[in-house]
Each structure stands twice: as C-alpha cells, then as structure tokens.
Structure 1
C-alpha cells in the first residue's frame, strides 16, 4: 500500500499515476478508475484532481466530461506529435553538441555502439540495450543551452513512454536503432554538425515509423496484449 506525505500530496499522486502509466500497468486508452485509486491510496478528491490536471497538461491522460479519465491514446496522431517535437529538439541538440563534445567522450560512445554491434553479430544483444540512450544523453549534456535542456527534460517522459511501447512490442527495436546511432556518432566524431543532425532526424523518423507500425486504429498495441 502506498503512503503519501501530506505536504506534497498532489505531486506524489501525480508521480504514482505516471509510474502506473509508464510502467505499462495501464495501457493507452484504458479508463482510470479514480475511486479505486483514491480508496487504495487513501487520497481525497482535491489532490487527486490536481494530479490529474497536471498529467492532462503533460499529455499522459485525457479527461472526458461525464465519461471519466483515461490514459491518453497512443494513436497515430499522438505518435506523430510526440516525434515532431522530439525531432525538432534533439536535432537541434546534437547539432549544437557536435562541435563542443570532448573528443574522448565522443569516441567512447562510438566505441560502445561498435562493440555492441560486434557482440550482436555473435548473438549477444545485451550490450545494445545498455547503451541505447548514450547518443541522446550526449546531445542533451553538451548542447550548451539550458532552455533547450529544460524542454528536452519536460518532453523526455512522453518520449520514454512512446519508446517503451516500441521495445515492449518489438523485441528487436534496439537492434534496429543501433546502426542509426552509429551513423550519428560517426558524424559527431567527424565534427560535422549538419550530418549529425540529419542522421539524428533519420533515426527519429525511423523510430516513429517503427512505433506507428505497432499501433492499431484504436491506439492499443496491435498484438492485443492485455
């Protein structure tokens, strides 16, 4: 049973509900039984309503008058909107980071991907998942723009939610992304900002299409997992 500190109750409820959604325990389009959560967590309506309002603004839930509260649909339009923003932000970030990222760090990230590729060719795919976020973290860390970093941070959880749907429904998603990550890092190591941005765009466009391919018309993953 969850126990909350009353001082920031709505924030804690928000984080707990977000964890339910991002953890896949509530699927896109699923109705959220508010009264059940309130009873289980011993939370009154006001902080719960505040938490839902914040999650609605962030894009995790939808509130429909006289119908109820639902996990946001991860449908074709939602995926496109999430990735439109991701492409704009991350392409800018990698373009800004490419000229200034330390050479040693850039070479280290590239080496991680190349090692993962070699291991995968021998049937070992564990390394791929471990390094999957490295190029994105590098772009975030070295873009030298605090406002861009804040925008990336605020959008990152929606990105992770969408990406989790790819990985959960497509076991080889990390493997498919690996050569795309290598292409980005080769451009970074060559100190070519435009090539890095183009490679990042290609990677994110492909990621979007991989996710969209696993979303049916209702927004529920197409394999009908429960």
Structure 2
C-alpha cells in the first residue's frame, strides 16, 4: 500500500523495536497489516532472515507467534504462508468477539469509573481528528474497547480479544473506505453514553450489535 515494500517495513521495524525478536515479529506483523505481505503469500524463512539481517531462529519463532495471532498458517510441504480470512472465519470471529467482549464489559462495568470513561472519550476524539484514519483505525479502535474493558482486570481475556481485533484489522485496512468508519464511530459514542448512564443491559446489547455490524460490513467487501 502507498508504494511501501518489505525493505521499508524492515527499516521502520529496526528503528521501532529494541530486540531482534520483537523487530522480526513487529516488522512481519506490520507488513501483513499494511498489505505489503498479502494473503496466501509464502513466507520463506531464509529470505526473511536475510531481509532482517538475522538468523533463521528468530524468524521461525516470529512466524509461530504470528500463527497464534491468526496471521500466518503452516502447511505440509509448503511451509508458512500469510493466512487468508474466509467468510466462515469472519463469522466465527464475530461470534467469539460478541461472547468474550460482552463478558469483559460485564465484568468491568461495576468498576467502570469516570477516569476510564474520560479516557475512552479522548480516544473517540482522536479518531474524529485523525487524518490517516485508515492506517490508525485498528490501533485506536482497540484502544477504545480496551479502555472500557480494563477495569475487568482480565489480561488473558483481553489478549484473546485483541487477537480477534488484529485478525480483522488488515482486511479492514484493505477493503474499507472512509465512509465505512462513520457508523462504527457513531456506535462507539452511543456505547460510551450508555456506559455513562450505568445501563448494563443496554451497553451489552449495543456492544453486541456494534461487533456484528462491523463484521457484516467486512463480509460485504469479501464477497
């Protein structure tokens, strides 16, 4: 996207990440999320190691970590490839997100205070003002959701939920246009207002509908 190649991603990663392992994982993740590496593309460990200037071991470990995040798939006789998201997988991710995010919000709700609500609103203002929204939507969208869930104090749960957000992000970057972000952002404000009113049932329903609507929008572009 925007003429960026893997060499550019590697250069950016070498500046952003402190350790070899985090550089390779972060660089490959960035390349997949930005569309530099596309679904179905083979990931040859020796070539990646040469690009990053590292041995094959951190590359192998990075690919396994990205497999756990749903970004990479391993096949017999083919090795690692960038995973592709099918319609069936989108539907499954929607189901997982609805189940786990409503659980997280339910647990967080009694402890959701003015500080978290203010931080969540700050994120929404940042989304409104962001000039490069397509590339930053995933990060800011997750920050909003994670802020509402943070009082639940369930780090493992949030780690699983974040992985589902990440699985959507690269397809959202490629397929959605700016107008597609208007409805989810409106739903964000509605969810925030409902949380402020301490309406748990209303907030859970809005969150569920919000996730399903996002999935439907993505599905319409994948068909």
1:186 aligns with 2:193: yes
Task: Give 5+ residue unaligned stretches, structure 1.
Answer: 117-124, 217-226
Q: 1:107, 1:189 within 8 Å by CA — same for their partners in 2?
A: no
Name the larger-Rg structure.
1
Structure 2: distance between partners of 1:68 and 1:111:
43
Q: Which has the higher helix share?
A: 2
Q: 1:95, 1:194 within 8 Å by CA — same for their partners in 2?
A: no
Superposed, 1:194-205 pairs within 5 Å as 194-205=201-212
Specify the SS of the correspondent of 2:38. Answer: coil
Structure 1: distance between partners of 2:168 and 2:32:
11
Residue 220 of structure 1 is matched in structure 2 by: none
TM-score (norm 2): 0.74
Alignment RMSD (CA, Å)? 3.3
Q: 1:91, 1:201 within 8 Å by CA — same for their partners in 2?
A: yes
Residue 177 of structure 1 and its aligned partner are, at CA, apart by: 0.6
- Aligned mate of 2:95, from 69, 84, 87: 84
Residue 42 of structure 1 and its aligned partner are, at CA, apart by: 2.9
TM-score (norm 1): 0.73
1:22 aligns with 2:28: no
Structure 2: distance between partners of 1:168 and 1:104:
34
Query: Aligned in 2, Cα 1:167/1:59: closer, same or farther, shift over 3 Å?
Result: closer
Structure 1: distance between partners of 2:122 and 2:21:
44
Residue 63 of structure 1 and its aligned partner are, at CA, apart by: 1.2
1:61 aligns with 2:72: yes
Residue 138 of structure 1 is matched in structure 2 by: 147
Specify the SS of the correspondent of 1:69. Answer: strand
Q: 2:142, 2:165 within 8 Å by CA — same for their partners in 1?
A: no
Structure 1, 24-33 or 163-172: larger mean CA deviation = 163-172
